[in-house]
Amino acid sequence: MVKAAVMVGPGAPVEVREFPTPRLEEGAALLRTLYSEVCGTDVHLHAGHLAGVPYPLIPGHVNVGEIAEIRGRVVDLNGDPLREGQVVTFLDVHETCGHCWFCTVAKASTRCPQRRVYGITYSAEEGLLGGWAEMVYLKPGVKILPLPEEVPPERFIGAGCGLPTAMHALERAEIALGDTVVVQGSGPVGLSCAILAQLSGATEVIVIGGPEARLAQARRIGADLTLDITTTGAEERLEQVLARTHGRGADVTIEATGVPQAVNEGLALTRDAGRYVIVGQYTDVGDIQVNPHRDINRKHLEIRGSWGSDFSHFWRGLRVLAKHGERYRWEEFVSGRYGLEEADRALADVREQRAVKAIIDPRK
Ligand SMILES: [Zn+2]
Ligand SMILES: [Zn+2]
């Protein structure tokens, strides 16, 4: 039998249930979970903020584990056969069709209507398809990536899904060498954005967020200035950013907060003819008012959304971890490890922002 933490419905306590050990179909693999993560999406899932979620489900969309069993020939992206005992991760997004209008014409596979996501759009009734479990069933066709030797599992999961999400946002941000970048939000996505902004050539990175434990991480990874939303007002923050940019504002601002009102502030913080990337508004938590003349048109502002991530962001993220992992030590974002029985406490700690990064360790 395999134990898994199951989200039975919005607001209900997470239950640990037992599932039969699955029999593998041809081309499938079974992963023995080392770590899964608790990300903001899981908090939204638990609050019932996402539409069409097939409760009950096993959460956990970014995972790392050891291959316990393989049936038939299963290869990685380079065509190399995978073997039992290997430490791997896999792309949570599965069954992106490659044939629909979004896949082929828009080349925006994150909007493919066929896509299924481990830990989000699969029900527990369909099998062990989420990482808050001792084992994860990797269906044929799931994109599996061995962890590079330089990347310990703890570091990989410390970066978690925040890293590929940030990789996508940074691609959208098109930062130039010498830019001043403001990152709104100091959760896992914001922190990875602050790292990638530096790697992209930004010479001044300002992180706005809180609480202090998260801002301490922002300074550790090289933020030039942190502004705590719990002790400063929006006016004061704007003044500070203007003071460091000769009164112009940031060249690029990246929103990673999940709070709609942060967008008003972000528009103000960005310079005329600058760029604003919105990545943190993953669920619908309300409307805001903007002045289209003052905030967008007269500013000649470019505003871009960034939704989810695809395999390229995942793959490139792993390369970044292999090259820059020692310098930024993503594993230090992990502020708590929780067993399957402690999933509710993990969700609460992420929701209340007591955690920087909470991870699930089914072996605990
Ligand atoms: Zn996530
Ligand atoms: Zn498609």
Integer distance in angstroms from the first to the last C-alpha of the chain?
17
Mean residue pLDDT of the chain comes to 96
Of 104, 111, 64, 100, nearest to 310 (Cα)?
111
Q: 293 C-alpha to center of ligand 1: Å?
A: 35
Q: 258 C-alpha to center of ligand 1: Å?
A: 13
334 contacts 346 by C-beta, under 8 angstroms: no
Tokens 């090289």 belong to which residue?
222
Q: Residue 185: CB partners within 8 Å, gap ≥ 6?
A: 193, 208, 209, 255, 256, 257, 258, 262, 280
Q: Which two tokens stand for residue 339?
A: 């067993």
Q: What is the pLDDT of residue 191?
A: 98
Tell me the residue length of the chain: 364
Q: Which two tokens stand for residue 178?
A: 């010498």
Q: 308 C-alpha to center of ligand 2: Å?
A: 15
Q: What is the pLDDT of residue 338?
A: 98
Burial per residue of 80-110, b for 16 or more beta-carbon CB atoms within 10 angstroms, e otherwise: eebeeebbbbbbbbbebeeebebbeeeeebb
Q: 162 C-alpha to center of ligand 1: Å?
A: 7
Between CA 226 and CA 280 the distance in angstroms is 18
Q: What is the pLDDT of residue 110?
A: 80
Q: Which two tokens stand for residue 230?
A: 């719990």
Query: Is 108 a residue whose pLDDT tops 90?
Result: no
Query: Is 284 a residue whose pLDDT tops 90?
Result: no
Q: 92 C-alpha to center of ligand 2: Å?
A: 15
Strand ranges for the chain from DSSP E: 2-6, 15-19, 29-38, 63-70, 87-90, 93-94, 116-117, 135-138, 144-146, 180-184, 204-209, 225-228, 250-255, 270-278, 302-305, 334-338, 357-360
Q: What is the pLDDT of residue 269?
A: 98
Q: 352 C-alpha to center of ligand 1: Å?
A: 17
User: What pLDDT band is residue 285 in, cutting at 50, 70 and 90?
Assistant: confident
Q: What is the pLDDT of residue 347?
A: 97
Average pLDDT over residues 17-37: 97
Average pLDDT over residues 239-253: 98
* Integer Rg of the chain from CA: 20
Per-residue pLDDT of 171-220, as tens digits, reads 999 999 999 999 999 999 999 999 999 999 999 999 999 999 999 999 99
- Could you write out the DSSP letters of every residue in 307-354? -S--HHHHHHHHHHHHHHHHHH-GGGGEEEEE-GGGHHHHHHHHHTT-
Task: Indicate which ligand has the atom closest to the C-alpha of 95.
Answer: 2
